[in-house]
Structure 1
Amino acid sequence: MSTDFILPDIGEGIVECEIVEWQVQEGDSVQEDQVVVEVMTDKAVVEIPAKFDGVVTKLYYAKGDIAKVGEPLFAIDADGADAGDTAESKPQPKAPADSSAEEKKQVKQSESKPSTASSNGALSDFILPDIGEGIVECEIVDWRVNEGDEVIEDQVVVEVMTDKAVVEIPAKSDGTVAKLYYAKGDIAKVGEPLFALAEAGAEAASADAATSSDAPEASAPKSAANANVRDAGGEFEAPQPAAPGKALASPAVRRRAREQGIDLTQVQGSGKKGRILKDDLSQATASAKTSETASQPSAAAKAPVAGGTRTEPMRGVRAAMAKQMAESVRTIPHFTYAEEFDLTELRAMHARLKAQYAEQGIRLTLMPFFIKAMSLALSEFPIMNAQLNDEATEITYFDDHNIGMAVATKVGLMVPNIKQVNQKSLLEVAEEVNRLTASAREGKVAQADMKGGTITISNIGVVGGTVTTPIINKPEAAIVALGKVQSLPRFDANGAVVARDMMTASWSGDHRIIDGATIANFNKRWQQFLEDPIQMLTVMR
């Protein structure tokens, strides 16, 4: 019986796409994860794979046609043993486009319910939940478990990376991991199954059901290979090779193979059913280089390799940062203002307090002083803590000073913010700085810590820069970048040359609501608090 493949949501705001190329014809057999069609949205070309093994019975569009999200793209007939395997481990297909709205709603709800196999109480799919505002997909960073492993409730099963942070996803109940639907590096969609779990106590029922199955003996070897179950010795069976002439690989692997010029039909897959993994591509590349070097040793010695390139996809936090920065520059008229700060007195006071609080286990850096002093200055210049709407028709002023700090992490630049600095003590700010810095460097900042910022501090001084032109973290109205602190010669009140600890603060402001005089006066007040820390402490609440 044929089943319609419904064109899924393939990107935020995308409602249609153009058929670029069909990779199969009606009547062709396809395997799970084999690419069926390439479609082009207004953002990129996307490869769409089959969800299970079967035979393509109908292509609803011709090359060049426009297909709609939520409507049937092609029809596939599950074949023999593979159809049974699919029913046990794959998400159920959606209803055809001509179904009623109520039928579509029911089918959509069924995607978040246990898989077909769970009808006998054995398996249930874990549906990737909404893990952040506006997030529709994520990358699999690392699986903490393997198929067959036992897990307990709230045990972390997988780490995924969104365009904001790395998120740990736990199991909802005790059980045994029966299926991992994605490999490390794959892109998972919100609302789609992430893994399947055999709940505790249901394994026996599952085993009984398997024993009483009346499947033909001829299909038993293939079913055993596809199931990838453990043998009597407790090890996984060797993976089966892909069908001749048909490489089995995910869209991400196929894309990388194209970029590296690798013929997938010549690569031996190490995954289930001979599925080609990213590690297989690396081994194939290494083998090719070794073979080439062995066959042409003299040429390699005479002509060193030059001009090579490497292309990587922009994903996660880096992709979000690229989009955010481009949008900020495009829509906000930036202007820059810079000023020197004399931090000699602040550094002296910080040295005394740092040693004192270190004995109490509190790490005190200079950043809490910058943040708290900025909050005091914001109380006198509320326009610096305001935001302009996209139409430039309304200004919103914020009572809370949610001051962000840019942190370079292993997954890209992240800007968590400290909430309500105006209501916190210096030590409370220091504790938040330490907490958010540690979380950001691990790439695991909570979504709440990333939202609601009103102004941002970026510290390039830790790297070694002095002056820069920072880009505003839209929709905020201003950002400041702190340069490195240097011991430089300056004249004292008596005209004598003395060494002072100097730092340059570089501002960028939204010129639609902030003018040069405003940012200069605000910066001067901030500077007074930092250059004379006693004055800051006297007005601090």
Structure 2
Amino acid sequence: MGIHIIKMPDIGEGIAEVELVEWHVQPGATVVEDQILADVMTDKATVQVPSPVHGRVVSLGGQVGEVMAVGAELIRLEIEGEGNEHTFKTRAAASKTEAPAAPAAAPVAVAVPAQAVVAASAPAPAPVAEASSRSAAVSPHAASHAPARAVGQRPLASPAVRRRAWDLGITLQYVPGTGPAGRITHGDLDAWLARDRNATSNRTTGSLYQSNDEETQVPVIGLRRKIAQKMQESKRRIPHFTYVEEIDVTELESLRARLNSQYAAQRGKLTLLPFLARAMVLALREFPQINARFDDDAGVVTQYGAVHLGIAAQTPAGLMVPVLHHAETLDLWSCSAEVARLAEATRQGKAARDELTGSTITLTSLGPLGGIVSTPVINHPEVAIVGVNRVVERPVFLEGRVVARKLMNLSSSFDHRVVDGMHAAEFIQCIRRYLECPALLFVE
């Protein structure tokens, strides 16, 4: 019997580290060749690591949430035969012998537990982490207590204790001090709060509503961590400029209903999204500087002739952006079918890496939850994102008459380093022109 070490594989594309998001085996389990051992995540794509051999799991090289360097030990298997453990040890010894005087090189990446990442980025908790409001912290029966000191006698407490008491709504005059010379300490505040909670609990026994002090810590790992990093990077690096425009989609909705009535059985049902995609494709011909990516490190803006439209989609795991490549080549029904296919593949976690990368501009919508106005975050390194709000029917003045019209807002954000406010407004106005007169969508 021997030990076979499986190291974190090189995923390619210059990736130096990946995040371990799920184990499919545990120590003691028997595995066969090609069985999936673990899932790792690079950017927004999840990659499965299979076993190259038959064997039994001896140990795991990391915990879920750890960021591991490519080449780090992932798992150890006990197998029939010699294994490769001796080979790795020989190589390591040889590398040390070749340069005995050189200092040890720094590792490529240090495995960091997800909990540590959260703790490092989150603010330190308050000394008392009770989920109660200031008004609840003020003892409702404090007035019934006799003051802990004579009237006019100033309670002794440090500035930190006084500040905390103020934040909690506690009157120090009523708090007994156990420190030197009767000084009030943080422990005295804790005891006072505990006594107030017990008294409140005794008074509310049998109440219709019960307090709930439960706290749950949720590690930010996997896709959730990638989303957080992406959003933070976008807001940190991009000066956002948001422009909101109201659009009358009454004629567009009428056209969509007629097309669905006539062609839905043969070609599928159309939503608003294919019309929006078509309007964006046409508008980008007039504003190519918006169909672009900005490499701010190199100081280069790359404008694209092809429209690779990112479609922000909510999945059970979190927000992802599948890409409708070459949207300029698709008609309404082709666009609708491809969007549906991408959305389903993304929700099931089966979208390929190239289906989740390469977008040049993004379209985002909350559908029926779209609200009135939103401020979408740009998908870095793109320079624009078009956000769609819900369609509502409202009375408007039209040719001197009050009529009911279907209105929808576009709330869109732009990278103000690349896109001037005037050009952003003109771009959205161009989309508006196509949507308000939908016949223009079919005029080349």
Q: Whole-Å Cα distance in 1 between the matches of residues 114 and 298 of structure 2?
A: 44
Q: 2:238 — aligned with what? A: 332
Correspondence for 1:192? 72
1:311 partner SS: coil
Relative to structure 1, the CA distance from residue 253 to residue 342 in structure 2 (aligned partners, 3 Å threshold; closer, same or farther) is: closer
**Following TM superposition, by how much is the alpha carbon of 1:372 offset from its aligned partner in structure 2, in angstroms?**
2.0
Query: 2:20 aligned to 139, 146, 152, which one?
Result: 139
Length-normalised TM-score, structure 2? 0.64
User: 1:393 and 1:502, CA in 2 relative to 1: closer, same or farther beyond 3 A?
Assistant: same
SS in 2 for 1:529: helix
Q: Please list the CA deviations of residues 415-444 of structure 1 after superposition, one character each: whole Å capped at 9, or x if unmatched.
A: 222112123333332232112212332344
Matched residues in 1 for 2:340 and 2:437: separation? 25
**How do 1:22-37 residues align onto structure 2 when only pairs under 5 Å count?**
none
1:393–1:156 CA distance, 2 compared to 1 (3 A): closer
1:17-416 alignment, distance < 5 Å: 117=2, 123=4, 125=6, 127-130=8-11, 134=15, 136-143=17-24, 148-149=29-30, 151=32, 153=34, 156-172=36-52, 175-176=54-55, 178-179=57-58, 181=60, 185=64, 187=66, 189=68, 190-195=70-75, 306-354=212-260, 358-360=264-266, 362=268, 364-390=270-296, 393-416=299-322
Q: Deviations over 1:58-117 (max 9, x none)?
A: xxxxxxxxxxxxxxxxxxxxxxxxxxxxxx7xxxxxxxxxxxxxxxxxxxxxxxxxxxx2
Contact map agreement 1:141 1:185 (CA 8 A) in 2: yes
2:356 equivalent in structure 1: 450
Deviation at residue 483 of structure 1 after TM alignment: 0.3
Quote the residue 1:496 is aligned against: 401
Find out whether 1:534 has 2:439 as its counterpart: yes
Structure 1 residue aligned with 2:164: none
TM-superposed deviation, 1:509: 1.3
List per-residue Cα deviations over 1:437-477 (Å, max 9, x = no partner).
12332344332223222111110333241201122222211
CA distance in 2 between counterparts of 1:437 and 1:254 reads 31
Q: 2-side partners of 1:371 and 1:438: how far apart?
A: 19
**Unaligned 5+ runs, structure 1:** 1-87, 89-116, 207-249, 260-295
SS in 1 for 2:289: helix
Residues 389, 411 of structure 1: CA spacing in aligned structure 2 closer, same or farther, 3 A cutoff?
A: same
Aligned to 2:443, the other structure's residue is in SS state helix
Equivalent residues in 2 for 1:457-496 (5 A)? 457-493=363-399, 495-496=400-401
For 1:365 and 1:145, how far apart are their aligned partners in 2? 46
CA shift at 1:127, angstroms?
Answer: 3.8
- 1:398-430 deviation per Cα after TM superposition (whole angstroms, max 9, x unaligned): 122111121122222222221121233333322
Q: Deviations over 1:245-286 (max 9, x none)?
A: xxxxx9959979x99xxxxxxxxxxxxxxxxxxxxxxxxxxx
Deviation at 1:375, TM superposition (A): 1.0
Structure-2 residue corresponding to 1:514? 419
Describe the shift of the 1:525–1:361 C-alpha distance in structure 2 as closer, same or farther (beyond 3 A). Answer: closer
Which amino acid letter does the alignment assign opposite residue 187 of structure 1?
A: E
**Given that residues 145 and 158 in structure 1 are in contact (C-alpha distance below 8 angstroms), is that contact kept between their aligned partners in structure 2?**
no
Query: 1:171 Cα deviation (Å)?
Result: 4.3
**What are the ranges of 5 or more consecutive residues in structure 2 without an aligned counterpart?**
83-110, 125-197
Which residue does the alignment assign to 2:325?
Answer: 419
8 Å contact from structure 2 (residues 27, 60) kept in 1: no
Query: 8 Å contact 1:163–1:315 — kept in the other structure?
Result: no
Question: Does 2:311 match 1:431?
Answer: no
1:479 and 1:253 mapped to 2: Cα distance? 30
Aligned Cα RMSD in Å? 3.8
Q: Aligned-pair distance for 1:137?
A: 2.5
Q: Which runs of 4+ in 1 moved over 6 A?
A: 253-256, 299-303
Q: Distance in 1 between matches of 2:115 and 2:276?
A: 49
Q: Structure 1: how far apart are the matches of 2:373 and 2:204?
A: 46
Q: Secondary structure at the match of 2:390?
A: coil
User: Secondary structure, in 3 states, of the residue corresponding to 1:484?
Assistant: strand
1:499 CA displacement: 2.1
Distance change >3 Å, CA 504–CA 159, structure 1 → 2: same
CA contact (8 A) 1:321 1:413 kept: yes
For 1:379 and 1:320, the matched residues in 2 are separated by 32
Shift of residue 536 of structure 1? 0.4
CA drift of 1:181 comes to 1.7
- SS state at 1:312 partner: coil
Residues paired across the two proteins, number? 334
**CA offset at residue 162 of structure 1?**
4.5
Instruction: Measure the CA separation in 2 of the matches of 1:196 and 1:391.
Output: 41
Identical columns (%): 35
- TM-score of the two chains, using structure 1 as the length reference: 0.53
Higher RCO, 1 or 2 (CA under 8 Å, sep at least 6)? 2
User: Letter of the aligned partner of 2:286 in structure 1?
Assistant: E
Do the aligned partners of residues 165 and 314 (structure 1) sit closer, same or farther apart at CA in structure 2, a change above 3 Å counting?
same
Alpha-carbon distance change, 396 to 525 in structure 1, aligned in 2, over 3 angstroms? same
